C-alpha cells in the first residue's frame, strides 16, 4: 500500500507558479527555460521541477526543517536527472 504524499500536488504547482511570477529564486525560471529549450513541454518541465520542490516542502512539513534553498537549487540544476529520487 503506497503512502499518500504529505504535500498536495496542486500546492506544489501553485508554489512553482508563484516562484516563476516573482522570479524568486531566479533559478526556477532559468530551469524552466532550460528544460523547454531542450525539448520539454512547459507542463513536463513543471512536473520535473515539482520533483525538485516536493522533497523540500515535505522536509518542512514532516520534519519541521527549514526550507533548504541551496539543496533545492542544486536539484533544479540536475534536472531532468533526479538522483535524489529512489524507487
Average pLDDT of every residue of the chain: 91
Specify the DSSP class assigned to residue 67.
P
Report whether pLDDT(71) > 70: yes
Per-residue cell: 60: 518542512
Rounded to whole angstroms, the Cα distance separating 56 from 72 reads: 7
- Range 68-74 average pLDDT: 96
By percentage, how much of the chain surpasses pLDDT 90?
79
Overall pTM > 0.95 = no
Residue from 86, 67, 80 nearest 40 by CA: 80
In a domain, 83, yes or no: no
Q: Which domain holds residue 44?
A: 9-78
Count the domains in the chain.
Answer: 1
Give CA–CA dist 31/77, Å, rounded: 7
d(CA 13, CA 49): 9
Q: pLDDT category, 73, cuts 50, 70, 90? A: very high
Domain presence at residue 86: no
- pLDDT greater at residue 8 or residue 33: 33
d(CA 83, CA 86): 7
Amino acid at each position: 500500500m503506497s503512502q499518500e504524499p504529505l504535500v498536495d500536488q496542486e500546492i506544489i504547482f501553485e508554489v512553482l507558479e508563484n516562484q516563476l511570477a516573482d522570479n524568486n529564486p531566479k533559478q526556477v525560471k532559468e530551469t524552466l527555460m532550460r528544460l523547454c529549450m531542450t525539448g520539454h513541454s512547459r507542463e513536463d518541465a513543471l512536473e520535473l521541477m515539482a520533483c525538485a520542490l516536493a522533497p523540500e516542502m515535505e522536509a518542512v512539513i514532516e520534519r519541521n526543517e527549514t526550507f533548504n534553498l541551496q539543496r533545492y537549487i542544486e536539484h533544479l540544476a540536475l534536472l531532468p536527472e533526479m538522483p535524489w529520487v529512489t524507487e
